Amino acid sequence: MALPAQTLACIQAAGAAIYAADAALKDAVQSYADQVKIGMLENPFDMGNDRLFDDWKTVARLSRAVGQVEAEFQKIYGAASDLSAGTTPSALTMPSLTAPQATVTADLTMVQEVDATDAVIKKVPKKIKAAAHAKPAASQPTSLGGNSAKVLARLLDILNPVTFVKINRTAVGTEVGLPKGSIGASIAKLKATGHLIEGGVGEFKLGVPKAK
């Protein structure tokens, strides 16, 4: 039985909120890193630097945790989209999400202890994928510009060059901040340049861009 449209819309809204929180936390990690750097340059013996460094590590742990939740939520949304389309979900068993502890000062059991220096700020969070799903270097959005580059950057986290994956164009457009008409034009351009290969209705996989 297909999921009601309202249910899918709620899942989509929750996923967009998690994605926004992930990006905001990574910005916060960078901000704390800059503050630590300035503090150490101005006065490396200031006792306040120790507290600032601890706060930096805490925010880095939070960022890592939300990044993992965002990756799992993509699987949840993909399975829900398959149900709504009347197809068999690609993920027959969904991974469970471990809730964080009551306070942010306690250790987060859902992630391993990490150093603050492990946190790397990037525009789009990178996900650990299986070797078979590794994206070809030629599919990177550096050769594109404008809306097409934004759309491809988001699709690099969803698609792979091996199997076709069904995507929701409206959801992708909402996540990158594009209207419905623009997302269609951007996908058409990515197909024309060879960045995307279309299979069935709404199904795509990553391709190798055509040489200029």
Structure tokens of 198?
Answer: 């279309």
3-class SS string, the chain: CCCCHHHHHHHHHHHHHHHHHHHHHHHHHHHHHHHHHHHHHHCCCCCHHHHHHHHHHHHHHHHHHHHHHHHHHHHHHHHHHHHHCCCCCCCCCCCCCCCCCCCCCCCCCCCCCCCHHHCCCCCCCCCCCCHHHCCCHHHCHHHCCHHHHHHHHHHCCCCCCCCCEECCHHHHHHHHCCCHHHHHHHHHHHHHHCCEEECCCCEEEECCCCCC
* Least trusted range by pLDDT, from 68-72, 132-136, 153-157: 132-136
User: For the residues 33-38, what does the mean pLDDT come to?
Assistant: 84
Sign of CA dihedral 110, 116, 118, 119: positive
> Which has the higher per-residue pLDDT, 31 or 141?
31
User: For the residues 149-169, what does the mean pLDDT come to?
Assistant: 89
Within-domain flag for 125: no
Query: Around 195, how many Cα atoms within 13 Å sit in the side-chain half-sphere?
Result: 23
Residues 52 and 16 in one domain: yes
User: For the residues 3-24, what does the mean pLDDT come to?
Assistant: 84
Residues 48 and 81 in one domain: yes
Residues 37 and 71 in one domain: yes
Within-domain flag for 126: no
Within-domain flag for 191: yes
Averaged pLDDT score across all residues of the chain: 73
Contact 110, 61 (CB under 8 A): no
pLDDT tens digits along 46-82: 777 788 888 888 988 998 998 888 888 788 878 877 7
What CATH number does residue 175 fall under? 1.10.10.10
Residues 94 and 142 in one domain: no
User: For the residues 184-192, what does the mean pLDDT come to?
Assistant: 87
> Which has the higher per-residue pLDDT, 26 or 108?
26
Nearest CA among 31, 37, 114 for reference residue 68: 114
Range of the domain at 46: 5-118
Contact 52, 35 (CB under 8 A): yes
Residues 146 and 201 in one domain: yes
Residues 145 and 109 in one domain: no
Measured CA to CA, the distance from residue 42 to residue 180 in angstroms comes to: 49
pLDDT tens digits along 79-124: 877 776 665 554 444 444 444 444 444 444 444 444 544 444 444 4
